[in-house]
Chain A
Amino acid sequence: MKLTLRIWRQSGATGRLVEYPMDDLSPDMSFLEALDVLNERLITSGQEPVAFDHDCREGICGMCGMMINGMAHGPEKATTACQLHLRHFRDGDVVTVEPWRAEPFPVVRDLVVDRSAFDRIVAAGGYISVPTGSAPDAHATPVPKPDADTAFEAAACIGCGACVAACPNGSAMLFTAAKATHLGVLPQGQPERYSRARDMVAEHDASGFGGCTNTGECTSACPKGIPLTTIARLNADLLRAHTTRSDR
Chain B
Amino acid sequence: MPYTEGAPIADQRVPAGPIETRWDRRRFSARLVNPANRRNRSVIVVGTGLAGGSAAATLAELGYQVKSFCYQDSPRRAHSIAAQGGINAAKNYRNDGDSVHRLFYDTVKGGDFRSRESNVHRLAQISVEIIDQCVAQGVPFAREYGGLLDTRSFGGAQVSRTFYARGQTGQQLLLGAYQALERQIAAGRVEMHPRTEMLDLIVVDGRARGIVVRDLVSGAVSTHFADAVVLATGGYGNVFHLSTNAKGCNTTAIWRAHRRGALFANPCFTQIHPTCIPISGDHQSKLTLMSESLRNDGRVWVPRDPHDTRAPNDIPEADRDYFLERMYPAFGNLVPRDIASRAAKNISDEKRGVYLDFADAIARLGALAVEQRYGNLFEMYQRITGDDPYKTPMRIYPAVHYTMGGLWVDYDLRSTIPGLYVIGEANFSDHGANRLGASALMQGLADGYFVLPGVIGDYLADAPFDAVDDSHPVVADTMSEVRGRVKTLLAVNGDRTVESFHRELGRLMWDECGMERDEAGLRKALERIPELRDEFWQRVKVPGTGEALNQELEKAGRVADFFELAELMCVDALHRAESCGGHFRSESQTPDGEALRDDANFSYVAAWEYTGVGRPPVLHKEELVFEHVTPSTRSYS
**Chains A and B are bound partners:** yes
Please tell me if B611 contacts chain A, counting CB pairs below 8 Å: no
Contacts of B180 in A (CB 8 A): 127, 130, 132
- A237, B283: Cα distance in complex, Å: 48
How many angstroms between the C-alpha atoms of A130 and B180 in the bound complex? 8
Contact of A138 with B by CB under 8 A: yes
Q: Which of B15-23, B104-112, B128-136, B203-211 is near enough to bind chain A?
A: B128-136
The answer for the CA separation of A128 and B543 in the assembled complex, in Å, is 45
Describe A's contact surface by its main secondary structure.
loop
Are B148 and A155 neighbours in the complex by a CB distance under 8 Å? no
Instruction: Report which of B57, B137, B194 forms a contact with A116, defined as CB distance below 8 A.
Output: B194
A156 on interface, CB distance cutoff 8 Å: yes
* Bound form: Cα–Cα A242–B183 in Å: 23
Does B549 make an interface contact (CB < 8 A)?
yes
Chain A positions 73-129 with a Cβ under 8 Å from a chain B Cβ: 76, 78-79, 83, 85, 87, 108-109, 112, 114-116, 118-119, 122-124, 126-129
Contact A188 B138 (CB under 8 A): yes
Stretch of B77-85, B312-320, B514-522, B563-571 that contacts chain A: B77-85
Q: Are B138 and A183 in contact (CB under 8 A)?
A: yes
A43 to chain B minimum Cβ distance, whole angstroms, is: 5
**Which of B133, B194, B217 lies in contact with A135, CB distance below 8 A?**
B133
Those of B161-192 within 8 Å (CB) of chain A = 165-166, 168, 171-172, 175, 178-180, 182-183, 185-186, 192
Q: Bound complex: CA of A229 vs CA of B4, how far in Å?
A: 65
B610 within 8 A of A: no
- Which of A13-21, A145-153, A163-171 lies at the binding interface? A145-153
Q: A51 CA to B248 CA in the complex, in Å?
A: 14
Closest CB in chain A relative to B135 CB, distance in Å:
4
- Are B186's CB and A124's CB within 8 A? yes
Nearest-Cβ distance from residue A208 to partner chain B, whole angstroms: 18
> Using Cβ atoms and an 8 Å threshold, which residues of chain A touch B283?
26, 28-29, 33, 36-37
* Known A55-B246, A138-B135; contact A40-B142, beta-carbon cutoff 8 A: no
* Residue contact A83 to B383, C-beta cutoff 8 Å: yes
With known contacts A51-B549, A128-B179, A57–B286 Cβ distance under 8 A: yes
Complex Cα spacing A53 to B77, Å = 11
A189 to B379, CA, bound (A): 30
In whole Å, how far is A236's beta carbon from the nearest beta carbon of chain B?
19
Q: Which residues does chain B contribute within 8 Å of A139, judged by CB atoms? A: 93, 148-149
Chain B residue contacts of A151, Cβ below 8 A: 138, 140
A9: chain B residues within 8 A (beta carbon): none
Interface residues of B (CB under 8 A from A): 54, 57-58, 61, 72-77, 79, 81-82, 91, 93, 129, 131-138, 140-149, 165-166, 168, 171-172, 175, 178-180, 182-183, 185-186, 192, 194, 217, 246-248, 280-281, 283-286, 288, 379-380, 383-384, 386, 449-450, 453, 495, 497, 499-500, 541, 543-544, 548-549, 551-552
Ordered by A's residue number, 22 sampled pairs between the chains whose C-beta atoms are within 8 Å are: A28-B283, A48-B544, A56-B82, A58-B380, A61-B79, A61-B246, A79-B383, A115-B73, A119-B185, A119-B194, A127-B180, A128-B136, A132-B58, A133-B129, A135-B129, A135-B136, A136-B132, A152-B142, A155-B138, A182-B140, A188-B138, A189-B138
